[in-house]
A and B are shown apart, each in its own frame.
Chain A
Amino acid sequence: MNENPAALLPELFPAGAAVAGLLAGAWLPRRRQWAVAVLAAAACAAGLAATAVTMATGREQTVFAGTFAVDAATGAGRLTVLGGLLLVLAMSAETFRGRAREAEYYVLLLLTATGTLVMTGANDLLTLFSGYLLASVPGYALAGFARDRAGGEAALKYYLMGALLGTVMLAGAVLLYGAGGTTWYPGLREALPGAPPGLVAAGLVGVLAGLMFKSAGVPAHFWLPDAAEGARPPVAAYLTTLPKIGGLIGGFRLLHQALGGSGVDWPLLLAVLAAATMTLGNLAAFFQDSAARLLAWSAIGQAGYLLMALAVADLGEPARRALLFYLAAYTVTNLGAFAVVCELPRARTLADYRGLARRRPGLAAVLLVCLLGLVGTPPTAVFLGKLEVFTAALDGGFGWLAVLAAANTVASLFYYLRWLAPVFRSPPPPPPAPGGGRPEPLATALGRWAAAAAYLAAALSLLLGIAAGPVLPLTTGPLLG
């Protein structure tokens, strides 16, 4: 039996850093707690390096009685999660610098990222569920970290939905265990074709409920807009991106590895969920005036496109490549847009961004790249992701879904442009009486780290699209079971 802990280094680094950070945070004076952020960044970098070594040397394997797979999908997921976490850390630097419980904030981020990593590699229902818990519970605390009213509401909504759907997920896992006699995916794959289809379907729906909560898919999406608006911007950036990675890769693995020949028509179920998610997310985003809320609804819409890849999971290679690449592209692009939101804490509504191109041309360029990127304008990375997803959907016989996704893309252009249009208008006239009224929303900028994260994310989003040639092969390779 393979119990090689070195295969889990990318998970162990952030987990270890979380423990060390918690201890260190208890001893460090408040003005030196930034050291924990450095520790967290170092853990991410070490995890990325370990992943790179694993991928470069071809050490794909399953470990711990086959309950955790270290394959191309896990590798791509690790790169995306840890890379995304690095960006979130940079965005958080100024927002939380010198605040109470600064160290704990980074510890919670590390723990939830570890949970997400566990979900991406889980090859067993119980591993998947423990990853779900590890990713969710610190997330609840993060949502309410500011300890104000909006944060409290965000945390409560997030927690109630998460607890409810977590229970449903566990119940679903129990049903699948009952049907197949095991929680191990390869075992389920052999046993489920002989099990009662109704039982399998009920179990699958239960497990999917938890995964949809993680990926903010309909009908488990309600928490995201409130949580994103109530939480601090860096936390909102985290909530709209990283949990999706765990939920969707975990879901893909479950569907492809455990339910391949089960006789349950899950492709249609996933296609309907994808259609509902993208349509609802895009329509609800139409007239949002808060930037964070708009991005949250857009994140739900994007989850719909991503779910298309799950609906055609049976295709194997094309669907997996589409999912993994789109996830990476979406993560950097969405984080870039959120980094601008973090950098300008006083600009809350879309109208506040008027004149940004004149005031801060760099940030306006980031918004241009990231928002048009989210639409799917070439040559950004999300365009290529969309191309791959649409191709997979058409290849898998879901032509109607691809057409619907194209229509949704056009619709999404409308609300992204509602944000971009004021950015490139001339700045508003200065307020009549100095000192009276609201302070100038664009005047306050946080500082270098958030801005650097924005520039880096936008550059990555462009680079992943233009130089996708060498990147795309990283996402290819069979799932191990």
Chain B
Amino acid sequence: MLTVLVFLPLLVAGVLLLAPRAVPDRACVPVWLAAALAELVLVVIIWAGFDPGGGIQYAQRARWIPGAGVGYHVGVDGLSLPLAALTCVLFLAAAVHSLRRGTAATATATGGGPPRARAWAALFLFLQTVSLGLFTALDLILFFVFFDLSIVGMYFVIAGWGHGERARAAALKFFLYTFTGSLALLLGFIGLYLAAEPHTFDLTDLAREDPLAGRGAHAALVLLAIGLGLAIKTPTVPFHTWLPPAHTDAPAAGSAILAGILLKMGTYGFVRIAMPLLPGVWRQYALVFVVLGALSAVYGALVALGQTDVKRMIAYTSVNHMGYVLLALGAAGILTGTDDRARALAVTGATVQMVSHGLITGALFLLSGVLWDRAGGYRIADFSGLAGPAPRFAAVTAVGALAAIGLPGFSGFIAEFQIFTGSLGSQPVATAVALTGILITAALFLRALHRMLLGPTRLPGSVRTGGFTDLTPAETAATVPLLGLSLVIGIVPRFLLDVIEPAARALTGLVAR
């Protein structure tokens, strides 16, 4: 079942690429849409059959390269299932978004949709396989394969469909930077492999065995390598510098996937690999992650405040939001001053935050694509009074911004409330510092809304004749459901929390052993 879920998009991508030239490029996006819908149905079926208390389920394990200790092992638990579901939702949104008609900045010869639609659809299908594979992988090398391929896929999205020459530079920076992280990760994995007896890369075996318990320096080096690799991907301060250019110059759907899914690979790596496999050193160095998390939260918010470009601003708020996740995970590793429930609450909050950030930021990045399509730019100062010509755009953007602030009623509130409640007991200072990030984020989002949506209508000269048109049906259909889902999680969160909580408790149990 999981194997089908993971590899179906890749299969469709292969069919699209090998299809004869007679099949027009226009037909590719609908095929992609159908595949993304099928994936969503599959993941809903998996969710329906999932028993929250049952640990890892739908597991499939096969020998792959036994000589090297590598196996094919996939499965989902309460930490990975929500992210797998998020992946399916967000890729469906990206597919819907790609249905929109070509506009000023994406003037195309294909008559509609993005240029080179065949390659575009194939690349996103490939990325969906990679993302689902990563979230379901239970073998370190399998995880690494998908981790690395996500970088390759996103490189081509940014370099091929980004905004001009700058995008190629940004894509190169993204590739080199995150590839450095992935090699650090690989060295860390090898360190784990060599410590286990018999040597294995299997996550479940390694978690059971805890091979690095009581091996101070070796374990610390492995955590350093894995932590560095994941911190670059997440990204946390000071390893975040690749993120703003990559986001700014990527196409809207690419940004949405990059922020919504690919960043989660870093934080998911912490809960799936760093914490359960290296519990001893995680406890020992948890404070480092707490500090990094709080620092990222505040620094990301402050730098976002100073941005003049909408997309850069949203990109920096990602650093801020991921900072909360890291803060919670660090706090979950500190045993003094808390109890099991507080630590499990922090981990639950961190996981909800991953889902919530994926939905909200994904929607915001898709909305920012509207600015590029109509006006070819993202400068905040260039726009004013957009609520006049584009009321729907203004309304949806306002809802998205409020959700990103963490207003009660949206998923971000649930997540951040749990994170802060869970972390406060052991880390009052860091939590208080991180809390200021919420205030700053609120200020910057409200300021941007105020400047761009309200007031007299003023548009940059690059807007094509006909003015700033409102959201098209495809754009609406891509963004509104994401925010709607965030609202559902914010109001009736139990369906999500019931899945996450048992897994979070199991994880904190592993960390505390």
Q: CB within 8 Å of B: which residues of A?
A: 321, 372, 377-379, 383-384, 387-388, 390-391, 394-395, 399, 402-403, 406-407, 409-410, 413-414, 417, 421, 424, 468-469, 472-473, 476
A-B pairs with the 10 shortest C-beta distances? A472-B67, A378-B145, A406-B183, A468-B65, A469-B65, A410-B180, A391-B190, A394-B190, A378-B148, A379-B145
Q: In the complex the two chains form, what is the Cα distance from A469 to B64 in whole Å?
A: 5
Interface of A is mostly: helix
Q: In the complex the two chains form, what is the Cα distance from A123 to B305 in whole Å?
A: 70
Q: Are B156 and A424 in contact (CB under 8 A)?
A: yes
- Whether B194 sits at the interface, judged by CB under 8 Å, is yes
- Whether B239 sits at the interface, judged by CB under 8 Å, is no
Which single member of A372, A403, A469 contacts B67 (CB below 8 Å)?
A469
Chain B residues, Cβ within 8 Å of A383: 145, 148
Q: In the complex the two chains form, what is the Cα distance from A394 to B222 in whole Å?
A: 12
Chain B residues, Cβ within 8 Å of A377: 148-149, 152
> Chain B nearest CB: distance from A467 CB in Å?
9
> Chain B nearest CB: distance from A327 CB in Å?
16
> Chain A nearest CB: distance from B265 CB in Å?
15
Chain B residues, Cβ within 8 Å of A391: 190, 193-194
Chain A residues, Cβ within 8 Å of B168: 421
Chain A residues, Cβ within 8 Å of B67: 321, 468-469, 472-473, 476
Q: In the complex the two chains form, what is the Cα distance from A417 to B156 in whole Å?
A: 11
Which single member of A384, A390, A414 contacts B176 (CB below 8 Å)?
A414
> Chain A nearest CB: distance from B170 CB in Å?
13
A-B contact count (CB 8 A): 74
Chain B residues, Cβ within 8 Å of A379: 145
Q: What is the interface size of chain B, counting residues whose CB is below 8 A from a CB of the partner?
A: 30
Chain A residues, Cβ within 8 Å of B179: 409-410, 413
Q: Are A372 and B152 in contact (CB under 8 A)?
A: yes
Q: Are B145 and A402 in contact (CB under 8 A)?
A: no
Q: Are A468 and B187 in contact (CB under 8 A)?
A: no
Which single member of A395, A402, A414 contacts B187 (CB below 8 Å)?
A402
Chain A residues, Cβ within 8 Å of B160: 424
B residues 58-112 with Cβ under 8 Å of A? Answer: 63-68
Chain A residues, Cβ within 8 Å of B180: 407, 410
- Whether B172 sits at the interface, judged by CB under 8 Å, is yes
Known: A377-B152, A424-B156. 15 other contacts (CB 8 A): A378-B145, A378-B148, A387-B190, A394-B191, A402-B190, A406-B183, A406-B184, A409-B183, A410-B183, A413-B176, A414-B176, A421-B172, A424-B160, A468-B65, A468-B67
Q: Are B68 and A468 in contact (CB under 8 A)?
A: yes
Chain B residues, Cβ within 8 Å of A378: 141, 144-145, 148-149
B residues 136-195 with Cβ under 8 Å of A? Answer: 141, 144-145, 148-149, 152, 156, 159-160, 168, 172, 175-176, 179-180, 183-184, 186-187, 190-191, 193-194
Q: In the complex the two chains form, what is the Cα distance from A56 to B68 in whole Å?
A: 21
With A394-B194, A414-B176, A421-B168 as known contacts, state yes or no: A387 contacts B68, CB within 8 Å. yes
A-B contact pairs, 30 of them (CB 8 A): A378-B141, A378-B145, A378-B149, A383-B145, A384-B65, A387-B68, A387-B186, A390-B190, A391-B190, A394-B187, A394-B191, A394-B194, A402-B187, A406-B186, A406-B187, A407-B180, A410-B176, A410-B179, A410-B180, A413-B175, A414-B172, A414-B176, A417-B172, A421-B168, A421-B172, A424-B156, A468-B64, A468-B67, A469-B64, A472-B68
Q: In the complex the two chains form, what is the Cα distance from A394 to B199 in whole Å?
A: 13
> Chain A nearest CB: distance from B250 CB in Å?
16
Chain B residues, Cβ within 8 Å of A476: 67
Among A395, A399, A468, A469, residue most surrounded by chain B Cβ atoms (within 10 Å): A469
Chain B residues, Cβ within 8 Å of A414: 172, 176
Chain B residues, Cβ within 8 Å of A394: 187, 190-191, 194
Chain B residues, Cβ within 8 Å of A469: 63-67
Q: In the complex the two chains form, what is the Cα distance from A473 to B149 in whole Å?
A: 27
Q: In the complex the two chains form, what is the Cα distance from A410 to B160 in whole Å?
A: 21
> Chain B nearest CB: distance from A394 CB in Å?
5
Per-residue A-contact encoding for B33-54, CB less than 8 Å = 1, 0 else: 0000000000000000000000
Q: In the complex the two chains form, what is the Cα distance from A472 to B64 in whole Å?
A: 11
Chain A residues, Cβ within 8 Å of B68: 384, 387-388, 468, 472
Among A387, A409, A468, residue most surrounded by chain B Cβ atoms (within 10 Å): A387
Nearest chain A residue, comparing its CB with the CB of B177: A410
Chain B residues, Cβ within 8 Å of A399: 221
With A387-B68, A394-B190 as known contacts, state yes or no: A421 contacts B159, CB within 8 Å. yes
Chain A residues, Cβ within 8 Å of B63: 469
Chain A residues, Cβ within 8 Å of B66: 469
> Chain B nearest CB: distance from A363 CB in Å?
15
Chain A residues, Cβ within 8 Å of B193: 391
Q: In the complex the two chains form, what is the Cα distance from A468 to B141 in whole Å?
A: 13
Q: In the complex the two chains form, what is the Cα distance from A372 to B148 in whole Å?
A: 11
Q: In the complex the two chains form, what is the Cα distance from A388 to B201 in whole Å?
A: 13
Q: In the complex the two chains form, what is the Cα distance from A414 to B172 in whole Å?
A: 8
Q: In the complex the two chains form, what is the Cα distance from A472 to B66 in whole Å?
A: 9
Q: In the complex the two chains form, what is the Cα distance from A394 to B189 in whole Å?
A: 11
Q: In the complex the two chains form, what is the Cα distance from A421 to B176 in whole Å?
A: 14
Chain A residues, Cβ within 8 Å of B175: 413, 417
Q: In the complex the two chains form, what is the Cα distance from A468 to B72 in whole Å?
A: 12
Chain A residues, Cβ within 8 Å of B191: 394
Q: In the complex the two chains form, what is the Cα distance from A391 to B175 in whole Å?
A: 24
Q: Are B65 and A472 in contact (CB under 8 A)?
A: yes
> Chain A nearest CB: distance from B465 CB in Å?
27
Nearest chain A residue, comparing its CB with the CB of B168: A421
> Chain A nearest CB: distance from B501 CB in Å?
34
> Chain B nearest CB: distance from A400 CB in Å?
11
Q: In the complex the two chains form, what is the Cα distance from A469 to B66 in whole Å?
A: 6
With A378-B145, A468-B68 as known contacts, state yes or no: A390 contacts B156, CB within 8 Å. no
Q: In the complex the two chains form, what is the Cα distance from A321 to B68 in whole Å?
A: 10
Nearest chain A residue, comparing its CB with the CB of B185: A406
> Chain B nearest CB: distance from A364 CB in Å?
11
Q: In the complex the two chains form, what is the Cα distance from A403 to B160 in whole Å?
A: 32
Q: In the complex the two chains form, what is the Cα distance from A384 to B67 in whole Å?
A: 11
Nearest chain B residue, comparing its CB with the CB of A379: B145
Chain B residues, Cβ within 8 Å of A321: 67
Q: In the complex the two chains form, what is the Cα distance from A403 to B184 in whole Å?
A: 8
Q: In the complex the two chains form, what is the Cα distance from A424 to B159 in whole Å?
A: 9
Q: Are A387 and B141 in contact (CB under 8 A)?
A: yes
Nearest chain A residue, comparing its CB with the CB of B183: A406
Q: In the complex the two chains form, what is the Cα distance from A407 to B149 in whole Å?
A: 19
